[in-house]
Structure formats: structure tokens, C-alpha cells
């Protein structure tokens, strides 16, 4: 096999001569060879469809629109000067940060409420509250779109009944931004709830009992017992959600397609519009690549948090 | 059935840490040998090297006369019982025991015959259809043993098999293991950190410490004639008392052992020859608690009375342990429960120096 | 643990009605009410989907009365979809893609996880870290270079490109959680099997997979949800209806210009959400286990 070179040194040669003797040394070397072969599909998959495209993206982003000439960082500087792209940066951050903060906050409250009720009934409530997370996002966003419909919308009907005027939900910039965030919060909160509930359950009951005996109030228990014990999982969940939310495509694409006047575009939808719809592949690749620094930053801390948490669980 | 020979085996982990530092051991056919020692002494590593689960850095292991250094575990014809039983949780008891036979492509009726027989020996016939999680600790232990028996291997290897059981069950299973060995007579290597387990089970005990063998011998041998201070301290519970002392001239031309200025005890004439060469040197006196007991006026003549202030008293029912301090060293005596002993009071004691051990303080060698 | 303290609390309360007891009761009822409010808010969209799907086109376009009620419930939307060849194609394509992706992903990730948790080789540590980092790569980061690559291998507008690409989204996480499950299997179990005479593939097949079945199920569910619900790749790479899968098919087929056939769209959403919902309803615990497994290392 062509990959013989990347197998640990000395495995291929003894294989031919000594493998038949079935010795223990050959046995353990064969173990690492088998181990490598079992990972080979994974390695090929990641190399072929993640690592190679990543470098290819960098290369692509440095070409001109017709992909005939090398323009260096021309696409990046061009983008930074464009007002639309500045909007995209602002909106992506607004969308991600606001959504994640709201999701974390509501999720935290929900987890606490769930934790208050007896275990057997938790299952039912958990079942109900997880539904938004279970429905494919692209499909549930369609329903939201229909509910935000200006002419015969579910929400406007209620507003009318209550004596308010129609709201052009997806027609005005800031309201549309609010709508995209709402959908994201609706979709993502259950995830936070489940993660926090798991974390709450892992706090030993004795700690609370000890705190009670030491005279801690409910708020003090929250700040001195619950939050420190959950700190790690809270940060992992937030950073993880930040990555996913920042790179979100489905909601904005379906709900507004970036409009009105590009006021809801985020990186992913803008890259799609520029790269796929308008056919400027290099520019689209450049737009996507702008996400990389913040994703890498968050990913680094997620990995650190996960490693730490693993150690905590182990001890 | 087979003998096992270990020749100068060394296990060195990455980073140069030596877990086993070149040990030699010969285990006879049908013999039950127990490797005992504190954690990290290399006993489990030795066992795992015999099993083929660890590579041997240097040296040789022979099973039945064949060097098996490079033979993978499945071809060594051994069976092993693990501390946490390592039963396959998704298989029934029957399947657990049959797994090795199935992999070796035994005919169905032969598998059934062997499993049934093993189950009968271990008294687990009614459990055959159950899953491991429906079993108690002791039952799981039996199944683990059954899995070893059905294979009818050359050697049984036990790796701390009773550590996960509670104290009562441990004693019961200990007897059970001994009984099984008496039935099947397979050569057995058994690893434990519990010296009582070692003493009760073994034909021969191998005491290991720091990657080397301290002493090999029958249980009684080790108890009465320990070769080193480590063995003396490790075997026996409560542990042997160790007191710094000096051998000096005693009354009537004999020898005496001086522990403190006030405690000077004559050495019995029977032992004087042995200890004569150490006159005037600092030594360590080893004395088991049962050889230190209350002093009776009407007791044997010439036994020296020693008065010590009592620190702690532990009544155990058939005997009472009394703890003292001599020059800062803890000392334990095993006295009659009828004897009056109370903390803070002084208690008259005497020592049976016929049972004493004298050790060199620097090498730990018993002289 | 909390159950026992609560039990004790209840016993104490039977004897004397304390203020502590009342306080707890209020907290409990408060929690129920608050949860109820959230549950209603969370379930509004699915409820509205159902309501709309039961309305005829005429009722929707009449725009009279409350949109929250159905005046003349009908199954005509569902009937239309079930007999609509395009919709059948989408459903079939989605099913084929999902089944293939789940199988491929599970084979790749189970093999890799077994190797990474048990058979260390040079670089296996960094590979597991790499697997986790790959899991954090969102599809929207690389879809443009992938568009070029898919174009080069001639799979643009061919749902087979999804079969190739979806595993990149599913495999890293599946591998990750399988490493976790496999690592929790005691080492003695494979040693016992080695002594019993099993080789590595037998250990994997006869011991690891059956023992780690909950993990396998959780990972399979994850791979399924990814393959069934992904939206960006099919939207970017497929453009004729014979190749489309459900997520993009519904949007491109039932929205023609300005004409929104909302009743049919909602019915289609409902039908398309059915498989995940059914799986979720029956395997909720595995679903939740898979969800939370990402926060720990193998």
C-alpha cells in the first residue's frame, strides 16, 4: 500500500519475515499496524474533505473572480472596504453573541426549574422542551417564516386582536434581526437546558446540605456552590454554541435570505450569496475564511475546557 | 499441567522505570504459588508477563519447558482471573464460560459438557442463564473461575481476585479457591497484597518488594524465619515490632539485648552463639506482638519484667492488643483479655526472646 | 439522592405541616407553572405547523378568522404530497442518503474509535484531538472549496455528493463519543478476551460493540439527524428536483416565485420531521446521552 511510508518505522519490514512466527513483538507491532489501518478511513476522510479543502480555500481566496490570476490578499482587503461586508461582520457578531447569551440564560433557568421537580416527571418535561432541537432546523424555520408572514401572520393576528398595528416582521432591518435571533434562541435553548441539567445533577447533594448547615441562602448556594461547580460545563457549552451560532446558515437563509437591504446577512449566507449564487468563488471563499480566526479561538478554549472536565471527572 | 520457570526477567517501562528487576522463580507442577507484596512491588507485572499481556524487556519465561517470551497470550494455554472479574457483561454465565472454547472451535457438546462440569464444581449450575449484572460479587468470582477452569489450561493466573469482595465473602472465597485447586490440581500463580490470603492459600509464598524477590518459602517458613526485615514486617498481623537495640554482655557470661537504659533483656543461651558476632553493634530487634505479653510472678523463671506505660488498648475478644511507645517507637503486645490494662497506667510485660529476630539496621538482613 | 431527601422531607411533613414544607410546595408549583409557560412557547411553532397543514388552500387564502384555528380540517395536503412524485423522490433520496451516510459513518467511526481507544500507534493521541477539532468545523466554513472539489469529481447536482460529504459532519462526533464509550470498558475485558483466544476484530465485534451498544445507538442517532436535516450542502450542490433531498426539495418545489402553498409546505415539514420525531420519542435517553457526551473527552 502506498501509505507504507507513514506507518511507524520498522513495521513493514519484519512483517514479511517474522510475522509468520507470530512472535509477541511482531504481535504488538502488528497491533499498531492494525490500529493504523482501522483509522485509515477516518484519516482519509478528514484529509480529503476537511484539511485539503481548508488549504484549497486559502488558495481559492487569493484568485480573481475568473480564477485566472493570483491577487494575494486583494479579496480580503476588498471585502473589508465594502459597507455590506462591514454589516455582515457586525451582524454575525450581534447574532451570535445575543443568541448565545439569551440561550445560556434561558437554558440556565430552565435547567433549574427542571431540577426542582421530581425525577420521574422530569422525563416528560424534558421530552416536551427538547422538541425544538429535534425538528430539523431548516424545516422549523419554514414554520417561523410562515408565522412571521406579513399578510396573514399568526403573530400579527394576535397583535391585531390586542389592538396593536401590524408589524412588518421580516421587512424592517432591526425587527428582522430580532426575528432571526428569536428563532435561533428557540432552537438552541433546549441544548443549553440539557447540558446544564446534566451539570446540575452532577453537583453532589451533600454540598448543598453542607452549605445549608453553614447558613447559606439560596442565592449564596447558587453563587458559591452551583456556579463554581458548573463553571466548566457552562463555558464549554457557551463556546461550542458560539461556534455553531456564528456559522449558522439555515435560519437567516430561509427567513430573510440576508435582506432587507443586507441587514441580516451573516458570514455563511453572505458567502453563499457571493460564492454560489453570484458565482464569485474566490470572494465567497474569502468571506468564509473570515470566520476562521474566531472559530479557531473558540475551538481552542472548548478543547481546553473539555480536557479539563475530563480530568475533573476522572478524579 | 505444567511447571513455570522465570529466568532473570526484567520489565522496564518507557522512561527507564524498572518495575521488575530481574527475578528468578521456579514453580513446580501442581504447585500453588502466591506472589505477595505492597502495591508497586512488581507482582502484578510479573503475573501479566507470564500471561503475555506485558512484553518482557529481558529474561525468559518458560511454560512446560518452552520459552514463551514471544508467544501471544492466546497460544500460551493459560487462564486468568481478574480483580474486577472481567466478565463479558452482555453474555450469560454459560456464554461467558464457553467464549474461550467457542473461539477455539470446540464441538458444541464438548463445550456443554465442560461448562456443566465446571459449573458443578463451583456450584453455579442454577446461574448459567443469568447475566453477570444479576450476580453477586461472590457469584461473579465463581464465574470468573469457571471461565478459567473450562479451558483446562496449563496454568491458572489469579490477579488479586478477592480484592473487590467484602471481608466475610473474601474468607469464604479463599477456601473455595483452595478447594478448587485441590480438585483440579492445576499449577497456579496467584497475586495478592493481602498477606493472610497469601499465607492461607499458598504452597509457597513469594514476597516481592521494589521489583525484586525478598524471600520464597512455605507460609510457616516465612512467618518463623523471615530472611529480611521487610518480610518480617510484612508477614503477620499486627505487624512485628521493631526496636533499635544493642547487643552487649549480659549476666553470667551470656549476652543481653539493650533497648533502652532501663530495658535490658538477656538473650537465651540457645541463641547466644548466633548473635555473638554482633556484640557491641547497633542492631534492630524484631519481636512479634504475641511474643510480648503480660508478666506473671509465677511465670517462667528468669523472664525479665519490663514496665511500660499503656498508650491505647484494643480489645478483640479472644485477645487484647495493647500499644506502647518505647523511645518513640510504637510497640504492640498481645495480652490475655482478662489482664487489666488501662491507658496511662503502667503495665508489667515480658518478652519471649526465644522467638526474637535480630536484624542489621542498614541491610535489613535477619541474622 | 435528591429523591431520598425529598422523600424524607415528605415523611417529616406528614407529621407536622412545617413552613419548610409549604415553601417547597410553592417552589414546586412555581417550577411547574414556569415550565408550562416555556413548554407552550417552545411548542407553538410545531403546533402551528400542524394547524396549517390541516387547512385547505382556500381556507388559508381567505385570510379570515383566527389563523390559530382550523375551521374545516382536511387531509388533502397530506394526500397531495403522498401522491406527488417529486415529494416521493425527495423522501426516497433523503432516505437513501441517510441510510448510506449513517452506515458509512458508523463503520468509519467505530473502527477508528476502537483503534484510538485501545491500539495506540504513533500519532494516535494527536489524531483524537484532531478528530475533536474537526467536529468543531462548521459546514459553512468549507462549502465553497468543496463546491469546486465536488465539481471536479463530477458530482455536482448528484445526491451522491452528500453521501461523500455528510460523513465529514457526522464521523468526528461519532468517533469522539465512541472513544468515550470504548474507553469506559475496563481493559481487563479485552485482556480476558485475548487470553480466551480472540483476535482484535473478534474483540471489537463480540465484546466492544455489544457492550457499548448505548453509545452506538447515540452515535447512530447523531449521524441520522445530521444526514436527515442538513441544509447548506444540498442547497449549494443540488439543483434539479430528481436529485434533491427533503430539506431543499420542500422549499424549492412548493415555493414557486411568490406563490406560497403554505398548507402543503407545512404538511411537508410535518412529514419530513416525522422520522427524527419518532426516533426521538422512542430513544430519548440515547438522544440526550449523545447530546451531552460531547462535553467530555474519551
pLDDT digits (tens, 9 = 90+) for B123-151: 899 999 999 999 998 899 999 999 999 98
Cα B54 off chain centre by: 23
pLDDT digit string (tens) for C43-87? 999 999 999 899 888 888 777 778 888 888 888 889 999 999 999
Do residues C116 and C241 share a domain?
A: yes
Could you tell me if B76 lies within 8 Å of chain A, comparing CB atoms?
no
| Inter-chain residue contact C42 with A132, CB threshold 8 Å | yes
Q: Tell me whether residue C182 is in a domain.
A: yes
Helices (H), A117-226: 119-129, 131-134, 137-147, 154-161, 173-201, 205-213, 218-221
> What total number of domains does chain C contain?
2
Give the distance from residue A110's alpha carbon to the nearest chain C alpha carbon, in angstroms. Answer: 7
Helices (H), chain B: 43-51, 93-103, 108-122, 137-150, 167-184, 195-201, 219-224, 229-234, 269-275
What is the structure's pLDDT at C18?
66
Those chains having 3 or more beta-carbon pairs within 8 angstroms of chain C are A, B
Rounded Cα distance between B38 and C75, Å, is 76
What is the structure's pLDDT at A27?
67
Do residues C213 and C283 share a domain?
A: yes
Could you tell me if C258 lies within 8 Å of chain A, comparing CB atoms?
no
Residue of chain A with shortest Cα separation from C174: A42
| Inter-chain residue contact B55 with A28, CB threshold 8 Å | yes
| Inter-chain residue contact B70 with A28, CB threshold 8 Å | no
Could you tell me if C184 lies within 8 Å of chain A, comparing CB atoms?
no
Burial class (CB in 10 A: 0-12, 13-18, 19+), A149: middle
Do residues C18 and C153 share a domain?
A: no
Chain C residues in contact with A268 (beta carbon < 8 A): 138, 140, 232
Do residues C91 and C37 share a domain?
A: no
pLDDT of C259 higher than 80: no
Those chains having 3 or more beta-carbon pairs within 8 angstroms of chain B are A, C
pLDDT digit string (tens) for B46-71? 999 999 888 888 999 999 988 988 88
pLDDT of C8 higher than 80: no
Those chains having 3 or more beta-carbon pairs within 8 angstroms of chain A are B, C
Rounded Cα distance between C168 and C204, Å, is 23
Closest CA relative to residue B266, chosen from B245, B282, B281, B290: B245
Q: Tell me whether residue C241 is in a domain.
A: yes
* Average confidence (pLDDT) over A118-130: 86
Do residues C101 and C162 share a domain?
A: yes
Do residues C21 and C104 share a domain?
A: no
| Inter-chain residue contact B71 with A22, CB threshold 8 Å | yes
- Residue A251 has phi, psi (to 5 degrees) of -65, -55
Instruction: Say which CATH number the domain at C280 has.
Output: 1.10.3720.10
Could you tell me if C196 lies within 8 Å of chain B, comparing CB atoms?
yes
Give the distance from residue A32's alpha carbon to the nearest chain B alpha carbon, in angstroms. Answer: 14
Do residues C18 and C118 share a domain?
A: no
B187 contacts B155 by C-beta, under 8 angstroms? yes
Do residues C22 and C110 share a domain?
A: no
More confident residue, C67 or C159: C159
What is the structure's pLDDT at C15?
52
Peptide bond into A260 cis (omega under 30): yes
Rounded Cα distance between A207 and A283, Å, is 55
Chain A residues in contact with B72 (beta carbon < 8 A): 22, 24, 27
Cell of A158: 394576535
pLDDT digit string (tens) for B178-225? 998 998 899 999 999 999 999 999 999 999 999 999 999 999 999 999
Ramachandran category for residue A270: left, alpha or beta (phi over 0 → left; psi -120 to 50 → alpha): alpha
Of the candidates C186, C198, C213, the beta carbon closest to that of B86 is on C186
What is the structure's pLDDT at A315?
62
Q: Tell me whether residue C35 is in a domain.
A: yes
Chain C residues in contact with A157 (beta carbon < 8 A): 66-68
Do residues C110 and C235 share a domain?
A: yes
Angle among Cα A116, A117, A121 to the nearest 5 degrees reads 155
What is the structure's pLDDT at B236?
86
Q: How confident is the model at residue B1 (pLDDT cuts 50, 70, 90)?
A: low
What is the structure's pLDDT at A116?
85
- Name the pairing type of β-strands C255-256 and B357-359: unpaired
Q: How confident is the model at residue C294 (pLDDT cuts 50, 70, 90)?
A: low
What is the structure's pLDDT at A313?
67
Do residues C174 and C291 share a domain?
A: yes
Q: How confident is the model at residue B301 (pLDDT cuts 50, 70, 90)?
A: low
Averaged pLDDT score across all residues of chain A? 84
Range of the domain at C264: 79-296
Do residues C135 and C271 share a domain?
A: yes
Q: How confident is the model at residue C7 (pLDDT cuts 50, 70, 90)?
A: low
Could you tell me if C111 lies within 8 Å of chain A, comparing CB atoms?
yes
pLDDT of A307 higher than 60: yes
| Inter-chain residue contact A24 with B75, CB threshold 8 Å | no
Could you tell me if A225 lies within 8 Å of chain C, comparing CB atoms?
no
Could you tell me if C281 lies within 8 Å of chain B, comparing CB atoms?
no
Rounded Cα distance between B181 and B149, Å, is 10
* Average confidence (pLDDT) over B153-180: 90
Best residue in B59, B72, B74, B75 for a mutation probing chain A (most A CBs within 10 Å): B72
Q: Tell me whether residue C163 is in a domain.
A: yes
Do residues C21 and C96 share a domain?
A: no
Domain architecture of chain A: domains with CATH: 14-58 (no CATH), 73-314 (1.10.3720.10)
Could you tell me if B75 lies within 8 Å of chain A, comparing CB atoms?
yes
* Chain B 33-52, residues with CB within 8 Å of chain A CB atoms: 52
Amino acid at each position: 500500500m502506498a501509505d507504507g511510508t507513514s506507518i511507524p518505522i520498522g513495521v513493514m519490514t519484519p512483517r514479511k519475515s517474522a510475522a509468520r512466527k507470530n512472535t509477541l513483538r511482531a504481535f504488538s507491532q502488528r497491533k499498531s499496524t492494525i490500529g493504523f489501518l482501522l483509522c485509515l478511513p477516518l484519516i482519509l476522510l478528514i484529509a480529503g474533505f476537511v484539511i485539503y479543502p481548508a488549504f484549497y480555500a486559502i488558495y481559492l481566496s487569493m484568485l480573481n473572480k475568473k480564477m485566472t490570476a493570483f491577487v494575494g490578499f486583494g479579496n480580503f482587503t476588498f471585502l473589508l472596504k465594502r459597507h455590506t461586508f462591514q454589516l455582515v461582520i457586525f451582524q454575525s457578531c450581534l447574532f451570535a453573541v445575543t443568541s448565545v447569551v439569551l440561550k445560556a440564560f434561558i437554558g440556565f433557568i430552565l435547567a433549574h426549574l427542571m431540577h426542582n421537580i421530581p425525577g420521574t416527571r422530569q422525563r416528560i418535561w424534558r421530552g416536551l422542551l427538547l422538541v425544538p432541537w429535534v425538528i430539523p432546523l431548516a424545516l422549523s424555520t419554514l414554520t417561523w417564516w410562515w408565522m412571521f408572514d406579513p399578510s396573514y401572520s399568526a403573530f400579527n393576528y394576535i397583535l391585531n386582536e390586542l389592538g396593536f398595528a401590524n408589524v412588518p416582521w421580516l421587512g424592517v432591518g432591526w425587527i428582522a434581526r430580532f426575528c432571526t435571533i428569536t428563532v435561533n434562541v428557540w432552537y438552541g435553548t433546549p441544548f443549553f437546558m440539557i447540558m446544564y441539567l446534566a451539570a446540575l445533577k452532577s453537583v453532589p447533594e451533600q454540598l448543598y446540605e453542607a452549605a445549608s448547615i453553614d447558613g447559606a441562602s439560596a442565592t449564596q448556594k447558587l453563587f458559591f456552590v452551583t456556579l463554581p461547580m458548573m463553571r466548566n460545563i457552562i463555558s464549554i457549552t457557551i463556546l461550542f454554541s458560539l461556534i455553531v451560532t456564528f456559522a449558522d446558515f439555515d435560519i437567516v437563509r430561509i427567513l430573510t435570505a440576508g435582506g432587507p437591504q443586507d441587514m441580516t446577512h451573516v458570514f455563511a449566507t453572505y458567502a453563499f450569496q457571493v460564492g454560489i449564487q453570484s458565482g464569485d468563488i474566490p470572494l465567497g471563499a474569502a468571506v468564509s475564511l473570515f470566520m476562521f480566526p474566531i472559530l479557531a479561538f473558540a475551538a481552542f478554549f472548548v478543547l481546553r475546557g473539555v480536557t479539563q472536565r475530563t480530568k475533573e471527572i476522572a478524579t | 499441567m505444567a511447571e513455570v520457570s522465570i529466568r532473570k526477567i526484567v520489565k522496564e517501562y518507557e522512561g527507564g522505570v524498572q518495575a521488575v528487576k530481574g527475578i528468578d522463580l521456579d514453580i513446580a507442577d501442581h504447585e500453588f504459588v502466591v506472589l505477595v507484596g505492597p502495591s508497586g512491588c512488581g507482582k502484578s507485572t510479573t503475573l501479566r508477563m507470564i500471561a503475555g499481556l506485558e512484553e518482557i524487556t529481558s529474561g525468559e519465561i518458560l511454560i512446560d519447558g518452552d520459552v514463551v517470551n514471544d508467544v501471544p497470550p492466546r497460544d500460551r494455554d493459560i487462564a486468568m482471573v481478574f480483580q474486577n472479574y472481567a466478565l463479558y457483561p452482555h453474555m450469560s454465565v454459560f456464554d461467558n464460560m464457553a467464549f474461550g472454547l467457542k473461539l477455539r472451535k470446540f464441538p458444541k457438546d464438548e463445550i456443554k459438557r465442560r461448562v456443566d462440569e465446571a459449573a458443578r464444581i463451583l456450584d453455579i449450575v442454577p446461574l448459567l442463564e443469568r447475566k453477570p449484572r444479576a450476580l453477586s460479587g461472590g457469584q461473579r468470582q465463581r464465574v470468573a473461575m469457571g471461565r478459567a477452569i473450562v479451558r483446562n489450561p496449563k496454568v491458572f493466573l489469579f490477579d488479586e481476585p478477592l480484592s473487590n469482595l467484602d471481608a466475610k465473602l473474601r474468607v469464604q472465597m479463599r477456601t473455595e479457591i483452595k478447594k478448587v485447586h485441590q480438585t483440579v490440581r492445576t499449577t497456579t500463580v496467584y497475586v495478592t497484597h493481602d498477606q493472610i490470603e497469601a499465607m492461607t492459600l499458598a504452597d509457597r509464598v513469594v514476597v516481592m518488594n521494589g521489583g525484586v524477590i525478598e524471600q520464597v518459602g512455605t507460609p510457616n517458613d516465612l512467618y518463623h524465619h523471615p530472611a529480611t526485615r521487610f518480610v518480617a514486617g510484612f508477614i503477620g498481623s499486627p505487624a512485628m515490632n521493631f526496636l533499635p537495640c544493642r547487643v552487649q554482655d549480659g549476666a553470667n557470661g551470656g549476652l543481653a539485648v539493650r533497648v533502652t537504659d532501663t530495658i535490658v533483656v538477656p538473650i537465651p543461651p540457645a541463641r547466644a552463639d548466633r548473635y555473638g558476632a554482633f556484640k557491641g553493634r547497633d542492631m534492630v530487634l524484631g519481636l512479634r506482638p504475641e511474643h510480648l505479653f503480660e508478666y506473671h510472678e509465677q511465670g517462667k523463671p528468669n523472664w525479665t519484667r519490663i514496665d511500660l506505660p499503656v498508650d491505647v488498648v484494643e480489645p478483640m475478644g479472644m485477645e487484647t492488643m495493647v500499644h506502647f511507645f518505647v523511645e518513640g517507637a510504637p510497640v504492640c503486645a498481645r495480652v490475655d483479655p482478662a489482664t487489666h490494662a488501662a491507658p496511662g497506667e503502667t503495665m508489667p510485660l515480658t518478652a519471649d526472646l526465644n522467638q526474637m529476630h535480630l536484624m542489621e539496621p542498614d541491610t535489613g538482613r535477619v541474622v | 439522592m435528591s429523591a431520598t431527601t425529598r422523600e424524607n422531607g415528605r415523611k417529616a411533613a406528614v407529621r407536622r405541616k412545617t413552613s419548610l414544607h409549604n415553601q417547597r410546595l410553592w417552589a414546586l408549583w412555581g417550577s411547574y407553572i414556569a415550565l408550562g409557560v416555556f413548554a407552550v412557547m417552545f411548542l407553538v411553532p410545531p403546533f402551528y405547523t400542524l394547524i396549517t397543514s390541516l387547512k385547505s388552500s382556500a381556507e388559508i387564502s381567505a385570510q379570515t378568522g383566527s389563523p390559530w384555528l382550523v375551521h374545516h380540517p382536511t387531509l388533502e395536503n397530506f394526500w397531495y404530497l403522498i401522491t406527488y412524485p417529486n415529494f416521493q423522490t425527495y423522501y426516497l433520496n433523503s432516505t437513501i442518503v441517510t441510510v448510506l451516510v449513517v452506515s458509512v459513518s458508523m463503520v468509519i467511526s467505530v473502527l477508528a474509535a476502537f483503534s484510538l481507544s485501545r491500539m495506540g500507534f504513533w500519532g494516535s493521541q494527536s489524531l483524537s484531538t484532531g478528530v475533536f477539532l474537526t467536529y468543531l468545523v462548521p459546514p459553512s466554513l468549507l462549502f465553497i472549496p468543496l463546491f469546486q472539489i465536488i465539481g471536479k469529481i463530477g458530482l455536482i447536482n448528484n445526491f451522491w455528493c452528500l453521501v461523500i460529504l455528510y460523513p465529514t459532519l457526522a464521523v468526528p462526533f461519532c468517533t469522539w463519543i465512541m472513544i468515550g464509550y470504548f474507553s469506559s470498558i475496563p481493559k481487563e475485558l479485552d485482556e480476558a478476551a485475548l487470553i480466551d483466544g480472540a483476535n482484535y476484530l473478534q474483540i471489537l465485534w463480540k465484546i466492544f460493540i455489544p457492550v457499548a451498544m448505548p453509545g452506538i445507538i447515540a452515535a447512530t442517532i447523531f449521524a441520522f439527524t445530521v444526514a436527515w436535516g442538513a441544509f447548506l450542502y444540498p442547497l449549494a450542490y443540488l439543483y434539479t428536483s430528481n436529485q434533491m433531498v427533503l430539506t431543499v426539495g420542500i422549499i424549492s418545489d412548493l415555493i414557486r416565485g411568490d406563490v406560497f402553498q403554505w398548507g402543503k409546505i407545512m404538511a411537508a415539514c410535518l412529514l419530513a420531521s416525522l422520522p427524527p420525531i419518532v426516533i426521538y420519542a422512542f430513544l430519548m435517553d440515547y438522544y440526550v446521552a449523545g447530546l451531552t457526551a460531547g462535553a467530555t473527552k474519551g
